[in-house]
């Protein structure tokens, strides 16, 4: 399914493609025999996991997902968290488990918070809230763009994200001015959005407070695993903030 395809139920004029009828689940990965998954090792983990996203058994029934680095009380040694949005929980979980088993020498699936496999498909309703659907669409698109950029521009991009978050954003520079050249050069997903004049929705979501302490930019910063003090000045979200 093309990322810019208009689907009934998409929350922002069909910009993103998550259907309303989906369920969310989470699985956590690390590298075998590693006591602590550092940000650098997390980036290695992304590379090891990327082939999963091209496997038809996963791709065909998992219309969206997002990746982030997590290290908290529940995951004290750090991990890569894969949040998936599935149209069939049983099949998505099966595809993930199969991939993890086939690649167990390289990557380990150490924690599962899977979607409810007992829930009938016709009762899938995680996208019924327009606000939540907008947020999940953003997370999915943001992840696809970053994965594209990481193919050939990983370390310079991480430095750019850090510099934007800590220096340019407080100085009222819009993210589009900073990231658009890189996205246009390295991300096929972003080029599809831009060619359809739909990239404006991504920029809006990137500097948007999605509620419950969820700032769009944080999920870009977190995915590329650079340091961040997760405190945002409320002025950043005012309409007249950017010059």
Cβ-count burial of 103 within 10 angstroms (0-12 exposed, 13-18 middle, 19+ buried)? Answer: middle
Per residue in 193-217, pLDDT tens?
Answer: 888 788 998 999 999 999 878 899 9
Per the CB < 8 A criterion, the answer to whether 137 and 144 are in contact is no
Concatenated DSSP letters of 205-242: HHT-B-STT-BHHHHHHHHTT--------GGGGSTT--
What is the model's pTM?
Answer: 0.91
Per residue in 161-199, pLDDT tens?
Answer: 999 999 999 999 999 999 999 999 999 999 988 887 889
**CA-CA distance, 94 to 220, in Å (whole number)?**
28
Residue 3 has pLDDT above 60, yes or no: no
- CATH of the structural domain 23-123, one choice from 3.30.70.1130, 3.30.70.100, 3.40.50.800, 1.10.287.610: 3.30.70.1130
- Taking only Cα atoms into account, the Rg of the chain, rounded to an integer number of angstroms, comes to 18
- Predicted pLDDT at 6: 41
Per-residue tokens: 120: 């009938």
């Amino acid at each position: 399914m093309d990322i810019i395809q208009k689907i009934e139920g998409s929350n922002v004029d069909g910009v993103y493609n998550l259907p309303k009828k989906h369920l969310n689940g989470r699985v956590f990965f690390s590298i075998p025999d590693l006591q602590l998954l550092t940000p650098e090792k997390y980036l290695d983990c992304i590379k090891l996991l990327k082939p999963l996203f091209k496997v038809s058994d996963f791709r065909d029934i998992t219309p969206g997902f997002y990746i982030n680095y997590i290290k908290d009380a529940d995951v004290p040694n750090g991990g890569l968290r894969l949040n998936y949005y599935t149209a069939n929980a049983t099949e998505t979980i099966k595809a993930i488990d199969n991939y993890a088993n086939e690649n167990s020498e390289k990557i380990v699936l150490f924690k599962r918070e899977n979607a409810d496999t007992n829930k009938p498909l016709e009762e899938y309703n995680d996208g019924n809230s327009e606000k939540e659907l907008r947020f999940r669409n953003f997370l999915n698109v943001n992840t696809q763009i970053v994965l594209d950029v990481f193919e050939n521009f990983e370390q310079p991009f991480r430095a750019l994200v850090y510099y934007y978050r800590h220096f340019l954003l407080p100085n009222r520079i819009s993210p589009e001015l900073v990231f658009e050249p890189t996205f246009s050069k390295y991300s096929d997903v972003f080029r599809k959005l831009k060619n359809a004049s739909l990239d404006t929705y991504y920029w809006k979501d990137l500097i948007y407070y999605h509620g419950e302490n969820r700032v769009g930019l944080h999920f870009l910063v977190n995915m590329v695993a650079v340091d961040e003090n997760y405190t945002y000045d409320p002025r950043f979200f005012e309409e007249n903030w950017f010059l």
